[in-house]
């Protein structure tokens, strides 16, 4: 398998060792799966949890046994970090607090996680001449210029005012009291630091800006494999509502727009970055699917239809209800209005394009959610309440 794999310039790909921080999360689990099943690379998988990659770690008879090694550690305070980075050719940093419900309610943890805790990772890579792929976010763009134009302005139709370009678009956040932007601001500063390490000290880096990657294993279902009061990202919130046959909650009318990309398409892009350093180094890449744009309300409607199809259950009489952002997320919430990635740079450098339509990715994801959680939810709802 290893001998026949070529990079985009027709050169054979050499097996490498990857130090993957945050490997036990949603993106990490899919990336580990891809690396184990399709490449000869080794992974040092670092995380506090490993539930989402257990199927790759056990039993010892798996075909890739020996190529993936789990290290349970918290990068906030663990002296093993530098040694593990030194053992690898490439470090991929995925570790972060990245659920919007935390940004305004736990802003300190959010800023520490997304900026302070990433500092040693950047420093060790720079000092030891190790390549770094760092996961940032499309949230660094904040709000679009379009959102500040008068409602009746014809300029609103011009993509120049809303399509998000890595090397052109400004980063527009709300005021400081809108603590929603604590995450985006911390991510922006770590991007700037990495970029400066590249410019001043020659760090070889790639920055990834994911645009709403979704699929199986994203976040958790409250009360089943996560806290009952926890608020995950929208895919898991809506899945939870559908599984429990309760209306989907539309924050502030569900008017915000998002483009969703299937995790398996997005992972293809990350693999291209890993295996084509000459084309990926020094770049910031948007990774999203500009063709899959919907409002959150449209997403709720589509998920309801798809879920009816895959579960065989009847649709709810009241499929959605409106809630205010203050009620749902608390004080200090704010929102990105629209997120369409420009794909010029990733197309030119890596020839990558997303493939999966929103309907198809929801169908496979909700099939997984139903298969994984429907029984557990039924059981938990049947339990008598204790007094």
Ligand X SMILES: NC(=O)c1ccc[n+]([C@@H]2O[C@H](COP(=O)([O-])OP(=O)(O)OC[C@H]3O[C@@H](n4cnc5c(N)ncnc54)[C@H](O)[C@@H]3O)[C@@H](O)[C@H]2O)c1
Burial of 37 (C-beta count, 10 Å sphere; 0-12/13-18/19+) = exposed
- Smallest separation, CB 344 to ligand X (Å): 20
Among 103, 124, 162, 183, the active-site one is 183
Answer yes or no whether residue 287 interacts with ligand X by CB under 6 A: no
183 is catalytic: yes
Stretch that binds ligand X, among 90-98, 220-228, 339-347, 378-386 (CB under 6 A): 90-98
Residue in 39, 212, 240, 286 binding ligand X, rule: CB under 6 A: 212
The span from the CA of 132 to the CA of 125, in Å, is: 7
CB 266 within 8 A of CB 210: yes
Answer yes or no whether residue 25 interacts with ligand X by CB under 6 A: yes
> DSSP labels for 281-337?
TTEEEEE--TT-EEEHHHHHHHHHHHHHHHH-PPPPSS-EEEE-HHHHH-TT-----
Stretch that binds ligand UGA, among 8-16, 44-52, 69-77, 136-144 (CB under 6 A): 136-144
**Across-strand partners of 210?**
287
Residue in 100, 107, 142, 319 binding ligand UGA, rule: CB under 6 A: 100
The span from the CA of 169 to the CA of 138, in Å, is: 11
Stretch that binds ligand X, among 161-169, 209-217, 312-320, 354-362 (CB under 6 A): 209-217
Q: Whose Cβ is closer to ligand UGA: residue 102's or residue 204's? A: 102
What SS3 state is found at 224?
Answer: coil
Q: Whose Cβ is closer to ligand UGA: residue 44's or residue 332's? A: 332
CB 208 within 8 A of CB 287: yes
- Smallest separation, CB 173 to ligand UGA (Å): 13
What SS3 state is found at 125?
Answer: helix
Answer yes or no whether residue 210 interacts with ligand X by CB under 6 A: yes
Q: Whose Cβ is closer to ligand X: residue 100's or residue 332's? A: 100
- Smallest separation, CB 245 to ligand X (Å): 26
Pick from 98, 120, 121: nearest CA to 109: 98
27 binds, among ligand X, ligand UGA, none (CB under 5 to 8 A by kind): ligand X
**What mask, x for binding ligand UGA by CB under 6 A, covers residues 248 to 287?**
-xxx--x-x-x-----------------------------
Residue with tokens 């093993």: 80
Stretch that binds ligand X, among 17-25, 53-61, 307-315, 378-386 (CB under 6 A): 17-25
Q: Which parts of 95-124 interact with ligand X (CB under 6 A)?
A: 95-96, 98, 113, 117
CB 71 within 8 A of CB 45: yes
CA quadruple 87, 25, 114, 205: dihedral sign: positive
Strands 257-259 and 293-295: antiparallel
Answer yes or no whether residue 142 interacts with ligand X by CB under 6 A: no
The span from the CA of 332 to the CA of 329, in Å, is: 8
Catalytic residues: 183
Sites of contact with ligand UGA (CB under 6 A): 98, 100, 137-139, 210-212, 233-234, 237, 249-251, 254, 256, 258, 296, 335-336
């Amino acid at each position: 398998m290893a001998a026949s794999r070529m990079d985009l310039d027709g050169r054979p790909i050499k097996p490498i060792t990857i130090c993957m921080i945050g490997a036990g999360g949603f993106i990490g689990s899919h990336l580990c799966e891809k690396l184990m099943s399709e490449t000869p690379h080794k992974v040092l998988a670092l995380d506090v949890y490993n539930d989402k990659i257990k199927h790759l770690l056990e039993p010892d008879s798996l075909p890739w046994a020996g190529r993936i090694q789990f290290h349970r550690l918290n990068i906030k305070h663990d002296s093993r970090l530098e040694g593990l980075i030194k053992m690898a050719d490439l470090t991929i940093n995925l570790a972060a607090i990245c659920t919007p419900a935390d940004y305004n309610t736990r802003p300190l943890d959010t800023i520490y996680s997304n900026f302070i805790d990433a500092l040693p990772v950047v420093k060790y890579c720079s000092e030891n001449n190790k390549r770094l792929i760092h996961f940032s976010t499309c949230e660094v763009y904040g709000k679009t210029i379009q959102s500040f134009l008068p409602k009746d302005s014809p300029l609103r139709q011009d993509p120049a005012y809303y399509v998000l370009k890595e090397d052109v678009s400004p980063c527009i956040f709300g005021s400081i009291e809108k603590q929603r932007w604590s995450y985006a601001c911390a991510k922006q500063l770590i991007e700037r630091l990495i970029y400066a390490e590249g410019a001043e000290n020659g760090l070889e880096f790639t920055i990834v800006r994911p645009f709403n990657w979704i699929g199986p294993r994203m976040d958790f279902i409250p009360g089943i494999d996560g806290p009952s009061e926890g608020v995950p990202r929208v895919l898991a919130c809506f899945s939870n509502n559908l599984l429990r046959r309760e209306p989907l909650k539309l924050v502030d009318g569900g008017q915000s727009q998002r483009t969703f990309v299937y995790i398996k398409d997005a992972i293809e892009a990350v693999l291209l970055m890993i295996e084509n350093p000459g084309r990926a180094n020094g770049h910031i890449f948007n990774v999203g699917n500009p063709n899959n744009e919907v409002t959150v309300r449209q997403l709720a409607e589509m998920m309801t239809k798809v879920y009816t199809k895959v579960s065989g259950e009847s649709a709810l009489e009241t499929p959605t209800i409106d809630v205010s952002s203050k009620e749902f997320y608390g004080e200090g919430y704010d929102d990105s209005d629209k997120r369409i990635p420009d794909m010029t740079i990733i197309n030119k450098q890596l020839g990558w394009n997303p493939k999966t339509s929103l309907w198809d990715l929801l169908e496979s994801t909700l099939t997984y959610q139903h298969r994984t959680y429907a029984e557990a939810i039924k059981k938990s709802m049947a339990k008598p309440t204790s007094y």
